[in-house]
């Protein structure tokens, strides 16, 4: 009779994992097509595949399988701090195999949803093998990355297949931050506890979580982790204690940086931000944007590094995969999307130190990043709603020219500082041209007509460009 209900076991497992302290159902799934289309490279691992979803997908990923096996062996051979932890690697491996095989059902629950077919096609022992090899490799890699961060010269890693060059390290950091390139965090904890046994309960064991935090440059805490590494990164950077409301994703800031400056807003990089002097391999996001009543908009510096776009896009993908997660990375992306509508906004924010272009990307590439970073997002939170609302109605009454131009239709110089500069220049100088004794009257007339025609043509061009954006 029991076998008649065997088909219901996956349903029971999925339901049981919904509120499990160490497991989350459907926590590792495919990136939605709308997000994927904005930049496919941000979601596809280049060097290291973790878990079953991208396993052997490319020749390059296949070539990295051997280093993964070497890392796995070295992790299993590591010596612990307690005598009872120092056992033969073969014994440790068998114990890992026994425990991970028992996790098969909750592993499958983690890859629920759109990835269920992939998991269903893999036999349970094969899944366990993937988890053991990739999990042990990942733990060894994270431990070494922590040491690498402390030893910035990297001289002791010259023979390491992954840590031998900074470029390779950055690429691997990208790979292990990808949403589809995850394994359940409980697998990492189980493996670590088999190699380094400890008497405490698994839910109170923070060792693996802090290994991850150290590798990515986050502060060490007494939190035990999340559904996977990407989730832990989110937990480490977004305040989970604040009450938050979700809503449909939309552009809230309707005034770009150029228009804000024209309206009298002072834009500057926020001093004393944690992002002021970050480690070259650490990629942090500081959401502490503020706007004072005196018209000063302070934005913590955003350092654009090799890992910035991949981490940002995948954290947004994680936020979009759940309805209960605080979508602060998504809202942050939408704020910058509103702040930047053209290359002149990029130049202004670079000049002010709000954007720090460590990759020396062109203005066009940076513009493409900020314009597409929130593409496909469906929900956000209220992190920057109040600031955006205040900025949208901010009115500096010191410049008559601006007051007139703010009534121009649609988004003329709202999206292009060059139009504003033309208007500002001729607004200041038309009177001087008219009263000058050194310019013949006929040339005054021709100059004024030409200037007016140039202004009209420029506004029309920007108008149509903004509508075709």
| pLDDT one-digit tens code per residue, 79-106 | 877 777 788 899 999 999 999 999 988 8
Question: Computed from CA positions of residues 157, 213, 376, 393, in that sequence, does the dihedral angle turn out positive or negative?
Answer: negative
Q: Which of 258, 257, 262 is nearest to 395 (CA)?
A: 262
- Residue predicted with more confidence, 154 or 175: 175
Question: Computed from CA positions of residues 321, 325, 331, 333, in that sequence, does the dihedral angle turn out positive or negative?
Answer: negative
> ∠ at Cα 372 (371, 376), nearest 5°?
130
In DSSP terms, 242 is beta-bridged to none
In whole angstroms, give the CA distance from residue 367 to residue 339. Answer: 11
Task: Reply yes or no on whether the pLDDT at 284 is more than 70.
Answer: yes
**Cβ(300)–Cβ(289) under 8 Å?**
yes
- Residue predicted with more confidence, 49 or 461: 49
Beta strands in 250-358 (DSSP E): 266-269, 290-291, 296-299, 302-304, 355-357
Token readout for 373 is 């970073």
3-state secondary structure of 355: strand
pLDDT confidence of residue 121 = 82
> Which of 68-77, 201-210, 370-379, 395-404 has the weakest average pLDDT?
395-404
**Cβ(264)–Cβ(398) under 8 Å?**
yes
Question: Computed from CA positions of residues 133, 134, 138, 141, in that sequence, does the dihedral angle turn out positive or negative?
Answer: positive
Q: Which residue has the tokens 């302290």?
A: 21
- Residue predicted with more confidence, 394 or 446: 394
Per-residue pLDDT, averaged over 305-327, amounts to 94
Token readout for 80 is 């612990």
Strand ranges of the sheet holding 296-299, from the earlier edge strand across to the other edge = 266-269, 296-299, 290-291
In whole angstroms, give the CA distance from residue 126 to residue 131. Answer: 9
Neighbour-count burial of 353, counting CB atoms closer than 10 A to its CB (0-12 exposed, 13-18 middle, 19+ buried): middle
Task: Reply yes or no on whether the pLDDT at 416 is more than 60.
Answer: no
Count other C-beta atoms under 10 Å from residue 204's C-beta: 9
Q: 134: which DSSP letter?
A: H
In whole angstroms, give the CA distance from residue 382 to residue 394. Answer: 19
Helices (H), 328-440: 328-339, 343-352, 363-372, 385-393, 400-405, 417-435
In DSSP terms, 304 is beta-bridged to 357
Burial letters 165-191, b for 16+ CB under 10 A, else e: eeeebbbbbbbbbbbbbbbbbbbbbbb
Per-residue pLDDT, averaged over 445-464, amounts to 60
In whole angstroms, give the CA distance from residue 339 to residue 348. Answer: 11
Phi and psi at residue 291, to the nearest 5° = -140, 120
pLDDT confidence of residue 465 = 44
Rounded to a whole number of angstroms, the CA Rg of the chain reads 27
Task: Reply yes or no on whether the pLDDT at 299 is more than 80.
Answer: yes
- Is the pTM higher than 0.85? The answer reads no
Dihedral of the CA atoms 353, 253, 236, 185 (nearest 10)? -130
Confidence of residue 5 (pLDDT cuts 50, 70, 90): low
Task: Note the pLDDT tens digit of each residue in 358-415.
Answer: 999 999 999 999 999 999 999 999 999 999 999 999 875 544 444 444 444 434 444 4
> In terms of residues, how long is the chain?
469
Task: Reply yes or no on whether the pLDDT at 440 is more than 70.
Answer: no
Q: Where are the domains of the chain?
A: 2-237, 252-393, 406-467
Which bin fits 376, alpha (ψ -120 to 50), beta or left (φ > 0)? left
With a pLDDT cut of 90, the percent of the chain lying above it is 53
Confidence of residue 421 (pLDDT cuts 50, 70, 90): very low
> Which of 217-221, 292-296, 379-383 has the weakest average pLDDT?
217-221
In whole angstroms, give the CA distance from residue 263 to residue 266. Answer: 9
Q: Which of 320, 349, 321, 334 is nearest to 383 (CA)?
A: 334
Burial letters 209-239, b for 16+ CB under 10 A, else e: bbbbbbbbbbeeeeebbbbbbbbbbbbbbbe
pLDDT confidence of residue 400 = 41
Task: Reply yes or no on whether the pLDDT at 220 is more than 80.
Answer: yes
pLDDT confidence of residue 437 = 45
Q: 323: which DSSP letter?
A: S
Q: Maximum CA pair distance of the chain? A: 107
**Cβ(198)–Cβ(205) under 8 Å?**
yes
Q: Which residue has the tokens 């500082």?
A: 417
Q: Which residue has the tokens 């990942």?
A: 138
Q: 437: which DSSP letter?
A: S
Task: Reply yes or no on whether the pLDDT at 445 is more than 90.
Answer: no
In DSSP terms, 248 is beta-bridged to 379
């Amino acid at each position: 009779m029991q076998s008649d209900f065997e088909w219901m076991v996956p349903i029971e497992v999925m339901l049981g994992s919904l509120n499990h302290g160490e497991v989350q159902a459907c926590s590792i799934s495919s990136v939605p097509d709308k997000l994927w289309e904005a930049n496919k490279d941000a979601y596809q691992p280049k060097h290291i595949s973790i878990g079953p979803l991208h396993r052997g997908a490319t020749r390059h990923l296949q070539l990295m399988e051997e280093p993964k096996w070497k890392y796995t062996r070295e992790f299993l051979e590591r010596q612990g701090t307690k005598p009872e932890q120092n056992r033969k690697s073969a014994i440790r491996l068998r114990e890992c195999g026994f425990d991970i095989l028992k996790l098969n059902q909750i592993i499958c629950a983690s890859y629920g949803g759109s990835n269920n077919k992939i998991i269903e096609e893999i036999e349970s022992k094969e899944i366990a093998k993937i988890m053991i090899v990739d999990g042990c490799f990942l733990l060894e890699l994270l431990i070494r990355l922590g040491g690498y961060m402390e030893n910035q010269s990297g001289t002791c890693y010259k023979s390491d297949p992954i840590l031998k060059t900074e470029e390779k390290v950055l690429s691997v950091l990208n790979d292990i931050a990808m949403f589809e390139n995850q394994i359940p965090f409980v697998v990492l904890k189980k493996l670590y506890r088999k190699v380094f046994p400890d008497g405490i309960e698994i839910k109170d064991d923070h060792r693996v979580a802090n290994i991850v935090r150290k590798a990515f440059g986050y502060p060490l805490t007494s939190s035990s982790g999340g559904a996977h590494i990407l989730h832990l990164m989110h937990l480490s950077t977004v305040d989970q204690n604040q009450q938050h409301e979700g809503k449909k994703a939309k552009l809230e800031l309707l005034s770009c940086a150029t228009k804000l400056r024209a309206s009298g807003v002072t834009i500057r990089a926020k001093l004393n931000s944690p992002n002021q002097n970050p480690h070259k391999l650490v990629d942090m996001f500081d959401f502490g944007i503020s706007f004072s009543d005196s018209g000063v908009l302070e934005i913590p510096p955003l350092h654009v590094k090799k890992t910035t776009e991949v981490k940002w896009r995948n954290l947004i993908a994680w936020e979009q995969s759940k309805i209960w997660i605080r979508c602060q990375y998504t809202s942050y992306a939408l704020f910058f999307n509103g702040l930047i509508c053209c290359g002149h906004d990029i130049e202004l924010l670079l000049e002010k130190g709000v954007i720090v272009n460590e990759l020396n990307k062109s203005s066009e590439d940076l513009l493409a990043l900020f314009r597409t970073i929130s593409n496909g997002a469906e929900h956000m939170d209220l992190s920057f709603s109040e600031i955006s609302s205040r900025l949208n109605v901010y009115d500096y009454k010191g410049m008559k020219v601006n007051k007139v131009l703010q009534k121009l239709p649609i988004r003329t110089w709202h999206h292009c500082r060059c139009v504003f500069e033309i208007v500002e220049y001729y607004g200041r100088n038309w009177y001087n041209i008219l009263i000058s004794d050194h310019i013949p009257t006929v040339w005054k007339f021709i100059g004024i007509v030409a200037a007016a025609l140039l202004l009209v043509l420029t506004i029309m061009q920007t108008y149509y460009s903004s509508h075709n954006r």
